[in-house]
Amino acid sequence: MEVSQDFYGTSKHSAGGLQITITEWTVYVVLSFIVVLWCYFKWKQRPFEKVASKMTGPPSYPIIGVLLEILGTPQQIIENIIKLFEVYGPEPHKLWLGPYFAVTIGKPEDLQIILNSSKALDKSKFYNFFKNTVGEGLFSAPVHKWRQHRRLIAPVFNANLLDQFFPVFNEKSRILIENLKKELGKTQPFDLSDYIMKTNLDIICQTAMGYNLDSQSNKESEFAEALIKVSELDSYRVLKPWLYPDITFSIYRKLIGLQNIYKTLHKLPNQVIREMKETYTQRKMQNKNNDIDANNGDKRRLKVFLDTLLDLNEASANFSDEEIRDEVVTMMIGGSETSTITVCFCLLMLAIHPEIQDKVYDEIFEVLGDGNQTITIEDTTKLVYLDQCIRETLRLYPIGPIFFRQLQGDVKIYSGNHTLPKGTICVLSPICTHHIPELYPNPWSYNPDNSDAENVNKRHKYSFIAFSGGPRGCLGSKYAMLSMKVLLSTFLRNYSVHTNIKLNDIKLKTDLLMRSANGYPVTIQQRDRRPTYKKL
């Protein structure tokens, strides 16, 4: 082989009269590498493409997959998701989320298989986007950590411990009633979420950390403001693929001046955890001689979620401070925003359907009378129709319209006799399942009778998945239902709620959660504390 230079000084390699420049060699090497990489990728994709070939689904494009069909504004995203299921129905269909293979799971029989499979406990890569906020709490933890924490934390949500929270539920709900008095007599609608969010945030801070945030008193709260900004920031990231890499997201936060927002969010929980650990140790020392448990020494003291985590640590759970904070923050965020959206939607539904609202109020009057007595856990079990209204709200407007599970092994589903290969992302969609006409006639109408015992017993157990299901279902569902019942019954025994909008006027949007695009505009009137049936 001879090496020579051309007129411009470019090196050439000669082999048998063939001359090749260094640039050409580089191009050949790069192209060869790309071809090898593509062949390897296609080889790895063989199991997915084999299943995909047997399924229908929206058109897919190289690299971006079906993202063009789904992404858009928060309102367009939920419209696209609903349209997708209207076209393809609840049967499994394929989705290429960029290079990742996904399958929609909408039929209850298939949901039961996926949600209960030990191979479908991983929540997929998309949940990594929330780790700046909630760390590795139960919501986003990898399977090995989730198993350990779930086993330890599950007993926290028993009826005896939840009963202790009722004084907080009642107190914060009464403050809400006082604050709403300024809206009486006004004809101009106000947005419910402005009031309900502060109430739920105060409730969850008190019951999770034992901290009185008191945001309902219009005090400035660094934590509350950070929580709102973090929610907006995380949802923006999910919708913008170019922000998926951590380094890009970090640069973006600096550009918009929010590089320390997550530190601000964690500042209060970290401070409270430090103080409570010190107090816990002091009580332990004081009660040691009397052989009294640190948290039971003072019977008047509310035992909150953080107390229980410290108890678990004392019993060799070995939670780090960071892990304790992650679990507390997970509960606080999950317990404030999700309950707020559901309560707001429920009150809006009752305003749109006054005959249903009257029926709810009559039940509340029958159970609680016309006084101002506090509501007990026994009272909530008697509010059966109110429970149906909350569940119907969650059916019609599930807070999480879709969620993901990534398979850690092959799983065979009922529909189509498909075997989904390891690595498949399962897209589970309450917004689809809850609107299957065969399960719920007139699925976009509001009918609390859908949730009465007789109708529930006729349907498959996994026809309702507002709280997910299976081993990794929502641990706080009972807590959420109890707190919402107290808040709603307190609201409705004091005020009737009204609106000029119709059910068809409601437009949805989704970021991390699904909510009303135009808020929850209502007016309120004072109750005269008499059952409506006596007015007839």
The binding site for heme comprises 474
Residue keyed to tokens 């678990």: 312
Name the 3-class secondary structure at 124: coil
Q: Which residue type, as a one-letter code, is found at position 532? A: T
CA distance 521 to 190: 5
* 8 A C-beta contact, residue 495 and residue 526: yes
For residue 409, which amino acid is it? G
Annotated binding site: 474
By the 8 A CB rule, do 328 and 209 touch? Answer: yes
Q: Which region, left, alpha or beta, applies to residue 227 given φ > 0 means left and ψ of -120 to 50 means alpha?
A: alpha
How does strand 514-516 pair with strand 190-191?
Answer: unpaired
Concatenated DSSP letters of 271-324: HHHHHHHHHHHHHHHHHTTTT--TTTSSTTS---HHHHHHHHHHTT----HHHH
Name the nearest CA neighbour of 196 among 175, 222, 223, 168: 175
In whole angstroms, give the CA distance from residue 2 to residue 385: 91
Q: Which residues of 139-169 are buried (b: 16+ CB within 10 A; e: fewer)?
A: bbbeeeebeebeebbeebbeeebbeebbebb
The amino acid present at 14, given as its one-letter code, is: S
Given CA atoms 190, 193, 199, 201 in this order, what sign does their dihedral have? negative
